[in-house]
Amino acid sequence: MIRVGNCSGFYGDRISAMREMLEGGDLDYLTGDYLAELTMLILGRDRMKDAGLGYAKTFLRQVEDTLGLALEQGVKIVTNAGGLNPAGLVAKMQEFAKAQGLTASIAHVEGDDLRERAQELGLGTPLTANAYLGAFGIAECLNAGADIVVTGRVTDASVIVAPAIAEFGWGRTDFDQLAGAVAAGHIIECGTQATGGNYAFFSEIPDLGRPGFPIAEIHPDGSSVITKHEGTGGEVSVGTVTAQLLYEISGARYAGPDVTTRMDSIELSQEGPDRVRVSGVTGEAPPPDLKVSLNTLGGFRNQMEFIVTGLDREKKVELAKSQLESWLTKRPAELRWEYSGTAKEDAETEEQATSLLRCIVKDPDPKVVGRAFTSVAVELALASYAGFTFTSPPGDAQPYGLFTPGYVPQDKVPHIAVLPDGTRVDIPAPEQVQALADVDEPALPEPIEPGETRSVPLGLVVGARSGDKGGSANIGVWARSDEAWAWLAHALTVEELKRLLPEAKDLEVTRYVLPRLRAVNFVIEGILGQGVASQARFDPQAKGLGEWLRSRHMYIPVSLLPA
């Protein structure tokens, strides 16, 4: 068994987490996930300003603080913090290791960056183009004695899967073992989301003040136990693990470069306090193509937010819209209004009597959505509706990005392990692949007799976790008892979801059923426009979408409601 901890779920996560994990208890490996679709755009802009950048600078600070401690304890560090420049990050780490009088074997993985070949591969001319590599290059570096391995774009779970490959000697066709490690990796990759963070039933967790980061104890057969350091905050339960398993997935098949994990095979059991066993995971051959993260600069955006208070709010909104649009000398390529009419009647405070009106503009020319736009908005201040004011002063136009996925055959993408001594090892593409396909929908449980029902928030009986998948969003909804599952599986259909979430009414929605997790997962196509960086929605990563769903009322059997 190996203990693999995680100390980062995103670029900007708790800076002290690496030290906390190294000082908190025994570990064999410490991993960190720093990359997301938006992060790649941020790193791409960094690299445009300075070709020596393109990596996660916070990771460099963390390792500079704790390298001596990690080496002393024999904890190996694996991370994707190399971003667009893993070799540059290695060079920086070697500099400060030498300055501290430390000897560290540092390796990296490259080959994911396809920007120079993007047109040749039919990917256009993006700012960044990075294929999602797998875990075998990292394992090669670990087998060569690396103390630290940094990568560019690999799948988030790969930094956790690789230590298990290195330790247990798994091969390319050990699909069940690889899939088990992918499940463990998917659970801990987002840090404290596995220990109670962003959890639907957070009020039930006794100590969420500062949740500890998760650990996966991975066994040679691919099974694992999810836990955390003793004495840290938060909780590891079947609920918190279920929530994270449902995060940013689609159907029963979870595709990766090394294995396709069958999410419908996963079994969870509470083994003890803060210990959840993950077992029964099966895997299949990976798909023939690698997914490629493509980011382009979409243009420039800006927005102004108007405060609308008191009486005649609808008339005030219409006046502001007509004035601003008619006063603009040049209309932006995209001009969109959002109105949150949340004001209360006869409110006891001014804030409760207020709604917000947003005007969002986008254009290829920063001048059109810069002062030319904001100055017109400001000119309305003394010439528009009663009580006119803003939430903040006008700002300059900001660049925004567009994310699109691409796909390239695995054998067209180099996968290179650069060992601590500089030796370059080519990692071959998997020989056995299998085209991805949906599974047949499983049988649903027998429906329960509803008996007396009551219109109450859905979240009284189910949990939910939502997130972004490019321009789409997923909402995983799970029940905490067999009875609630028997109701949920029949009650929460695609049609019912669209009724509860009118923003999805005209969008394509697919439901996937995962009986072993007592869960249904919905993928809502296009609700986020062209991805988080395009800022198409006020909640651009769909983090609150699941909680909105839980707040909506359905007629639920009284027998399922909490006392």
> From CA 83, how far away is CA 36, in angstroms rounded?
10
Please write down the HEC assignment for all residues of 536-547.
CCCCCCCCCHHH
pLDDT tens across the length of the chain (563 residues): 999 999 999 999 999 999 999 999 999 999 999 998 889 888 988 888 898 999 999 999 999 999 999 999 999 999 999 999 999 999 999 999 999 999 999 999 999 999 999 999 999 999 999 999 999 999 999 999 999 999 999 999 999 999 999 999 999 999 999 999 999 999 999 999 999 999 999 999 999 999 999 999 999 999 999 999 999 999 999 999 999 999 999 999 999 999 999 999 999 999 999 999 999 999 999 999 999 999 998 899 999 999 999 999 999 999 999 999 999 999 999 999 999 988 999 999 999 999 999 999 999 999 999 999 999 999 999 999 999 999 999 999 998 888 889 999 999 999 999 999 999 999 999 999 999 998 999 999 999 998 999 999 999 999 999 999 889 999 999 999 999 999 999 999 999 999 999 999 999 999 999 999 999 999 999 999 887 777 778 898 999 999 999 999 999 999 999 98
Range of the domain at 196: 2-293+405-426
Please list, in sequence order, all residues whose beta carbon lies within 8 angstroms of the beta carbon of residue 449, skipping any fewer than 6 positions away: none
For residue 224, the surrounding DSSP H or E stretch is strand 224-228
Kindly state the tokens that stand for 23.
């000082």
In a domain, 463, yes or no: yes
For residues 323 and 270, state if they share a domain.
no
In a domain, 444, yes or no: no
For residues 414 and 376, state if they share a domain.
no
For residues 417 and 512, state if they share a domain.
no
User: How many other β-carbons are positioned within 10 Å of the β-carbon of residue 386?
Assistant: 11
- For the chain, report the end-to-end CA distance as a whole number of angstroms: 42
Handedness of CA 478, 481, 482, 486 (dihedral sign): negative
For residues 151 and 28, state if they share a domain.
yes
Which of 254, 231, 155, 247 has the alpha carbon at shortest distance from 197? 247
For residues 215 and 280, state if they share a domain.
yes
Helix intervals (H) in 297-347: 313-327
In a domain, 434, yes or no: no
Q: What is the pLDDT, as a whole number, of residue 313? A: 96
Please list, in sequence order, all residues whose beta carbon lies within 8 angstroms of the beta carbon of residue 398, skipping any fewer than 6 positions away: 300, 301, 302
Q: What is the pLDDT, as a whole number, of residue 494? A: 98
How, if at all, do strands 29-32 and 553-557 pair?
unpaired
> From CA 560, how far away is CA 50, in angstroms rounded?
58
How many separate domains does the chain show? 3
In a domain, 422, yes or no: yes
Please list, in sequence order, all residues whose beta carbon lies within 8 angstroms of the beta carbon of residue 399, skipping any fewer than 6 positions away: 45, 297, 298, 299, 300, 301, 366
Are 23 and 229 within 8 A, CB to CB? no
For residues 323 and 385, state if they share a domain.
yes
In a domain, 61, yes or no: yes
For residues 119 and 77, state if they share a domain.
yes
In a domain, 421, yes or no: yes
Q: What is the pLDDT, as a whole number, of residue 408? A: 98
For residues 232 and 320, state if they share a domain.
no
Q: What is the pLDDT, as a whole number, of residue 36? A: 87
User: How many other β-carbons are positioned within 10 Å of the β-carbon of residue 426?
Assistant: 12
In a domain, 446, yes or no: no
Are 279 and 223 within 8 A, CB to CB? yes
For residues 530 and 494, state if they share a domain.
yes
For residues 421 and 348, state if they share a domain.
no
For residues 347 and 491, state if they share a domain.
no
For residues 342 and 421, state if they share a domain.
no
Q: What is the pLDDT, as a whole number, of residue 467? A: 95
In a domain, 380, yes or no: yes
